[in-house]
Structure 1
Amino acid sequence: MEVIFLLIAISLLLAGTFLFLFFKAMKGGQFDDDYTPSVRILFENPPKKSTKKNPSTKQKSYE
Structure 2
Amino acid sequence: MVLAFLGLVAGPLLALVCAGMGLYLVLTGKTIAGIIFLLVLTQVFIGIGLWAYSARKKYALSQNVE
What TM-score does the superposition give when structure 1 sets the normalisation length?
A: 0.45
Which of these two proteins has the greater Rg computed from alpha carbons? 1
Structure of greater relative contact order (alpha carbons < 8 Å, 6+ residues apart): 2
Higher helix share: 2
What TM-score does the superposition give when structure 2 sets the normalisation length?
A: 0.43
